[in-house]
Amino acid sequence: MATAKKATHFPLLDNDDPQSSGMHPLKALTKRITEAYGPSGYEQGVRELIRDEIKGFADEVRVDALGNLIARKKGTGPTPRKKVMLAAHMDEIGVIVTHIDEKGFARFAPIGGVYPLTLFGQRCRFANGVVGVFGREIKDSTATEVTLNKLFIDVGATSKDDAPVGVGDPAGFWRDFSDLGNRIVSKAMDDRIGCVVLIEVLKQLKKSPHDVYFVFTVQEEVGLRGATTSAYGVQPDLAIAVDVTGTGDTPEANTMAVQLGKGPAIKVKDAGMLAHPAVKNLLAETAKEAKIPYQFEVLTGGTTDAMAMQTTREGVPAGCLSVPTRYVHTPSEMIDFNDLQNSIKLLVAVLGKQIKLD
């Protein structure tokens, strides 16, 4: 049943945004991509934004049945050429409306790994442009009790009938991009920053001896679904995911040997996969040759599209390059601008040479 006051899809980009005026082009691109609406399963707008960005830089661009955007850049080496797949996911975590009460307040379920502690007082945005505020039940609750079943979304409605959203409507967090100089902050750095890396690598890669597939995947946050299907279709010889990872450099943080500003993190292990040693070494040795700072990452919780690519068909040598990120899965994820630029440089260097996995 249709809900009241439905509007067109939320505009992804304001081309006259004064905040982007004079901004570094890479930061401006990051702002556009991270501020776009696209919870898991609803990545269409992000996909079109990325498609526009990469127009003219790939030899072939297509969208598969699940919604993954696949851009192929043909290699210049002799055939048969290796197929190298880079993957970054377009989706972001979010929420979906499960019930509207008589006063117009919405109850919701999570889409992906949503932390209740990060929600109270924050805002979300629906596809039709409606913005809601996360509130919580106060009566019979302690000051520290924050659970999803005690939270609701206030969209400013006065009754169920005038609520501008309805059951089944998804929303993403809403916070705008902030430029802090060397550090930049936005919602959905996970993993739009990986998408930014792939876009820039595609633009800067003049030639490669390999056929390179730049795959912008869907539904990673709910089970690596896009990488599972796209890797099956591409059948790569080598796969690298580009995603975010947490850090251990904030006060009383969990012990972790990853810091902002110390370079991209080359994954050794996470909760879902062990990186192929040859892929890990390829990234590290290339970084050394190119004098690009890097770190090794051992993540005790979570995984990436690399897990799905590694286990597709009969198996693929796979690894992951991670952009160190503070406050992952919150509306204010922070990265270091130098780490972003060095991630791009490293992948361009890797793809520009003959790859041997000995």
Q: What is the average per-residue pLDDT within 99-111?
A: 98
Domain boundary pick from 118, 142, 173: 173
Q: In what order do the strands lie in the sheet with 183-186?
A: 178-179, 183-186, 333-336
- 251 and 335 housed in the same domain: yes
Domain range for 159 is 94-173
pLDDT tens, position by position, 133-146: 999 998 876 767 78
**Residue 88 sits in the same domain as residue 202:** yes
Residues 49 and 68 in one domain: yes
CA distance 214 to 61: 9
The answer on pLDDT for 10 being more than 90 is: no
Which among 308, 304, 349, 351 has a CA at the least distance from the CA of 325?
Answer: 304
Nearest Cα to Cα of residue 339 among 324, 329, 320: 324
Looking at the fold, whether 80 and 108 belong to one and the same domain comes out as no
Residue 303 has a CB neighbour count (10 Å cut-off) of: 20
Confirm whether 207 is domain-assigned: yes
Q: Give the containing element (helix H, strand E) for 63.
A: strand 60-63
**Per this entry, what is the length of the chain?**
358
Q: Is 191 helix (H, G, I), strand (E, B) or coil?
A: helix
pLDDT of residue 8: 40
With contact defined as beta carbons under 8 Å apart, do 348 and 212 qualify? no
* One domain for residues 232 and 246: yes
Q: Indicate the number of domains in the chain.
A: 2
Task: Tell me: do 295 and 330 sit in the same domain.
Answer: yes
Q: Active-site residue 220, yes or no?
A: yes
The model carries a pTM of 0.93
- The enclosing domain of 313 has a CATH number of 3.40.630.10
Nearest CA among 343, 65, 84, 310 for reference residue 214? 84
Where is average pLDDT lowest: 28-37, 74-83, 119-128, 334-343? Answer: 74-83
Pick the catalytic residue from 35, 43, 53, 220.
220
Q: Is residue 4 part of a domain?
A: no
Same domain for 215 and 283?
Answer: yes
For the stretch 16-27, pLDDT in tens is 455 566 899 999
Mean pLDDT of 233-249: 97
Q: Are residues 70 and 107 in the same domain?
A: no
User: Do 270 and 140 lie in a common domain?
Assistant: no
Tell me: do 196 and 294 sit in the same domain: yes
Task: Check residue 317 and give its pLDDT.
Answer: 97
pLDDT confidence tier of residue 14, bands split at 50, 70 and 90: very low
